[in-house]
Amino acid sequence: MTATDRTSGALHPLETASPEELRAHHGEVFRDAVRMAFEKVPYLHERLVATGISSPEDVRGLEDLAGIPITSKTDAGRAMLGLGAFPLHDAKRIFVSPGPHFYASHKRTDPAPERGKTPLALPFHAMGFRDNDIVLNTFSYHLTPGGHGIEEQLIAAGCAVIPAGPQSTDVQAQVLGKLEVTGFVGTPTFLRLLCDKADELGISTRDDWSLEVAFVTAERLTEDARAELEERTGARVRQIYGSADGLLPAYECWAAEGMHLHPDQILEVLDQETHEPAAMGEPGEVVATVANPNRPLLRFANLDRVALRDDPCPCGRTGPRIARFVGRADESTKVRGMFVYPDQIAEVMSRHPEVERWQALVRKAPDGTDDFRVNVEASDANNGLAERVAEGIRGLVRLRAVIEIVPFGTIPDDAKRMVDERD
């Protein structure tokens, strides 16, 4: 069988564009995003008018970008239906994010995604996905956009999809051994769990599996974790940076030397205090502009913090890349692929007046999974307090947490509500 070329060049000319060509394209993206926001999103229309913009023609080009107000994820949540450009009853699917916030990315009447023109088309190609790959999709199909959205885009990329979701590891480990599954999408933790299950079942992840490329996201991928997964599976393991808010993903290529910025998105990295562009290599807050007619983003800040690099990439793609993910501008953090907000935990604790103080901790368990626990100081720990708090957190946050009742004085007076102790 002829080996598949998984390192061939860029899929779109803009990936290798000159700085002048990319700036000209971003000028078009900016003008289109302003027009869409002005015409289709009342919340953004009002914000534009408040800054003196009476018509989309008032915006000439990128030189006007800094004059557009930044919209934070919190602002969008307060707008109830966020930044959607159509009523939810016209949606193909409605998703839920913590808050809860409701949003949809597509109308029922939208045509099927075109080959090479989906948000993930460039990342898939850069990572090595190709026509006729069979791909195991382990992202959830429940409430969140991961499962359905990635499936549609894999199909548009010419792949066959196994809609597995994040369960039944024994069945999935066997499927990987019985079918020529060349691609995986999911979290790095779940891929490790599948490897562990295969070992338990006597299935060789190098000899019985056929994996060649793995797309992982929603969790931090350390270089040690990447090396382990590549050694165990023989696949190239690559990651993206993106969010369900509508940002276009930044993505690793075969060289894995940073994540390339999607050319159809204007991604600013701004100093959190001054809102001026952060120096190359210095951390700053992500602010994105995307001309999506269904969900235009206009200087949208999702509260993530990253640092950029602009040295040449061996793959030949040009433009800045994300060098590293620095953290969040707020107190939230991702646990097992889901954002957890301290306010959510506080809401659960408010239902239990006996709780005097609490602190959430996120650590790495010995098996590499996320250990999520909450220490609680309480005046009365009887009547199953720990179990009731755990059930409340599971219901609101959609994650299991270990609740530990600790003696008074264990949690310092000035303790943060959430501490992330992962490397």
376 closest CA partner among 350, 356, 400, 348: 356
Q: Which residue has the tokens 């692929």?
A: 337
Encode pLDDT of 262-284 as tens digits: 999 999 999 988 999 999 999 99
Q: Is the dihedral of CA 235, 240, 245, 247 positive or negative?
A: negative
Q: Does 78 have pLDDT greater than 70?
A: no
pLDDT band at 244 (very low <50, low <70, confident <90, very high): confident
Residue 173, in any domain of the structure: no
Residue 296, in any domain of the structure: no
* pLDDT for residue 2: 66
Residue 292: CB atoms within 10 A of its CB come to 19
Residue 218, in any domain of the structure: no
Structural Rg of the chain based on CA atoms: 22
Alpha carbon distance 48, 55 (integer Å): 9
Alpha carbon distance 98, 25 (integer Å): 34
Q: Which residue has the tokens 């408010």?
A: 350
Looking at per-residue confidence, does 305 or 133 come out higher?
Answer: 133
Residue 391, in any domain of the structure: yes
Q: Taking the CA of residue 204 as centre, how many other CA atoms within 13 Å lie in the half-sphere pointing to its CB?
A: 5
Per-residue b/e over 181-197, b at no fewer than 16 CB within 10 Å? bbbbbbbbbbbbbbbbb
Please give the average per-residue pLDDT across 406-423, as a whole number: 86
Residue 179: Cβ-neighbour burial (10 angstroms; 0-12, 13-18, 19+): middle
Percent of the chain with pLDDT over 70: 96
Looking at per-residue confidence, does 258 or 346 come out higher?
Answer: 258
Does the pTM surpass 0.85? The reply is no
Instruction: Output the domain CATH number for residue 357.
Output: 3.30.300.30
Residue 374, in any domain of the structure: yes
254 closest CA partner among 281, 235, 233, 280: 235
| Cα distance between the two ends of the chain | 42
pLDDT band at 47 (very low <50, low <70, confident <90, very high): very high
Q: Which residue has the tokens 């079918």?
A: 179
Encode pLDDT of 363-405 as tens digits: 988 877 889 999 999 988 888 999 999 999 998 888 899 999 9
Residue 404, in any domain of the structure: yes
User: Taking the mean position of all CA atoms in its chain, how far away is CA 206?
Assistant: 29
Q: Does 77 have pLDDT greater than 70?
A: no
* pLDDT for residue 305: 87
Backbone angles phi, psi at 265, to 5 degrees: -125, 135
Alpha carbon distance 62, 353 (integer Å): 53
Residue 170, in any domain of the structure: no
* pLDDT for residue 1: 52
Q: Which residue has the tokens 């303790």?
A: 415
* pLDDT for residue 319: 92
Please give the average per-residue pLDDT across 411-415, as a whole number: 84
Q: Domain count of the chain?
A: 1
Q: Does 14 have pLDDT greater than 80?
A: yes
Q: Does 75 have pLDDT greater than 80?
A: no
pLDDT band at 203 (very low <50, low <70, confident <90, very high): very high
Q: What is the dihedral of CA 325, 365, 193, 197, to 10 degrees?
A: 160
Q: What are the tokens at 118?
A: 């989906």
Residue 167: Cβ-neighbour burial (10 angstroms; 0-12, 13-18, 19+): exposed
Q: What are the tokens at 139?
A: 């992202």
Alpha carbon distance 289, 173 (integer Å): 40
Alpha carbon distance 129, 121 (integer Å): 9
- Residue 355 gets the label, from left (phi > 0), alpha (psi -120 to 50) or beta, of beta
> Contact at 8 Å (CB) between 237 and 221?
yes
Please give the average per-residue pLDDT across 221-238, as a whole number: 95
What range does the domain containing 361 cover? 335-420
Please give the average per-residue pLDDT across 280-297, as a whole number: 94
Rounded mean pLDDT of the chain? 91
Q: What is the dihedral of CA 256, 261, 264, 267, to 10 degrees?
A: 160
345 closest CA partner among 387, 303, 389: 389
The SS3 call for residue 195 is helix
Q: Does 26 have pLDDT greater than 60?
A: yes
Provide the strand spans (E) within 33-126.
71-72, 95-97, 101-103
Q: Does 80 have pLDDT greater than 50?
A: no
Q: Which residues, at least 6 apart from 255, have a Cβ–Cβ distance to it below 8 Å? A: 313, 314, 315
Alpha carbon distance 211, 133 (integer Å): 10
Encode pLDDT of 387-397 as tens digits: 999 999 998 88
Q: Taking the CA of residue 398 as centre, how many other CA atoms within 13 Å lie in the half-sphere pointing to its CB?
A: 15
Residue 276, in any domain of the structure: no
* pLDDT for residue 242: 82
